[in-house]
Amino acid sequence: MVCGQSGFLTGISRKEELPVAVRIDILPDRYTEVRHIARGGMGDVYRATDTALGRTVAVKVLAERYADSEDIKRRFKNEALAAARLSGAPYTVTIFDVGESEGQAFIVMEYLEGGSLEEQLQAGKPQTADVLRWLEQAAAALDAAHAAGVVHRDVKPGNLLLDGRSDVHVADFGVASAVGLDSLTMTGTVLGTAGYLSPEQAQGQRATPASDRYGLAVVAWQLLHGRRPFESDSPTAEAAAHVNAPIPSSSPELDGVFQRALAKDPGQRYPSASAFVSDLRRALEPPTQELGAPVARPRRSLRTPLLLFLALLLLGGGLAIAGVIAGGEAPRTRTVFQVTTKEGEPTTVELTVTQQPEPPPATPPASPPPASPPAASGRSGTRLTDEATALLGQRRWAEAETVARQAVAKLRGSGQLYEAYAEYDLGRALAEQGKCRGAVQHLNRSEQLQGHRSEIDDARSRCQ
């Protein structure tokens, strides 16, 4: 377990239990068998049993020294809500609860027993097949977060946790920059771990989805090579290298992929994390033809047996083909060949062959229509907003519009952050379908509630 510079923790694992004297009565009574497992810059992490739901959980508790700061507690809870918006997204650690006990804010989340990719690296270089699978899973989680307007800002092996099936889940969105939410850091403070910082973060600029994709590329480099691309004994020197040093060579196959993934200019990087990992897989697994393996050949047409027959016929008489082939698709086909004899006299050869027509290709079964969104009855506006966000991530614009309208109706006038999210989801769904008049209205409302965001500008730009 390693706690990062940026905040809470970088992993939750059963493999390490810290012999630290801490309070274990800080949590509500429903959490029993509480055991301290980690300590970070913002507080402590516990493993506990949730007796109400009968499951093991991990609980982050804000440090007691912040208990008197209502501003910090509010920010802490807001960051937890940002992470909770992603619950249910693929390969993302699930948030179960956000609350406060004895003046200390806490977040309850999924407990994963497989350790972290940092621990995997400490045990030795992993297999390439595992690396690609883990990267694909992390990429899916990050892309879903970015579609929901959440930027992680601290992508590193310690924040990529493994479950019992050795699948990766991205953790610690608690230090994320979420739509409409403030950060736990002060403006200008470098947030993140030096070895994985994007050049713009190292210079104190705001992190974007491109920053997360840069961090994932550093993780990929480390998993494949056993070290980071700009590894240094000094965190300061390593952060500076991200800004100024040329990207080192990896291998002829991978250099082009990493040159783009680790570009200094965020605009030159891959448009999504999944696109980066797809290129990485293609570079590592090029199509090959093994020696002695059968070579695939194009399917022969009905002309092929006729040509072979004619070749055999002409071989003994010294004939050369000088004409054309005419044929049909009927079962009995009359084919005429005009040839020239050795003495130069033209003659005609007629052949009649029986050829059964090929059966028509099987018609594939029609794809079932996309499932309609469930009815809104009994679901909160917050839940509906999360569902609309997930549909946007799947590019199911019409369904997202339907669910987002229900969310907006339930949240209208509440003044909650989720009302801003719902308005954004509806505005973007409309913009993607070219319904610009309504789209701009809802995007403007979202901006009124949460302030200016680049994601709102991007959605509005679809209507310009």
Does 50 qualify as catalytic in the annotation? no
Smallest CA-to-CA distance from 389 within 42, 88, 171 is with 88
User: By CB neighbour count within 10 A (0-12 exposed, 13-18 middle, 19+ buried), where does 378 fall?
Assistant: exposed
| 105 bridge partner residues | 100
Give residue 225's Cα distance to chain centre. 22
Residue indicated by tokens 């991978």: 254
Strands 160-162 and 168-170: antiparallel
Grouping H, G, I as helix, E, B as strand and the rest as coil, residue 50 is strand
Q: Are 62 and 42 in contact (CB under 8 A)?
A: yes
Q: Are 235 and 226 in contact (CB under 8 A)?
A: no
- The pair of structure tokens assigned to 450 is 């949460």
Q: Are 318 and 343 in contact (CB under 8 A)?
A: no
Q: Other CB atoms closer than 10 Å to residue 22's CB: what's the count?
A: 14
| Residue positions counted in the chain | 464
Query: Distance (Å, rounded) from C-alpha 456 to C-alpha 453?
Result: 5
Smallest CA-to-CA distance from 353 within 306, 297, 387, 317 is with 306
CA torsion angle 429 432 434 438 (round to 10): 30
Residue 368: C-alpha distances to residues 364, 365, 371, 372, 392 (Å): 12, 9, 8, 11, 20
Q: Are 432 and 462 in contact (CB under 8 A)?
A: yes
Sheet-wide strand order for 320-321: 320-321, 332-340, 346-354
Angle at alpha carbon of residue 227, lines to 224 and 231, rounded to 5°: 145
Residue indicated by tokens 């690609």: 132
Which is catalytic among the residues 44, 143, 154, 172?
Answer: 154
Residues annotated catalytic, as ranges = 154
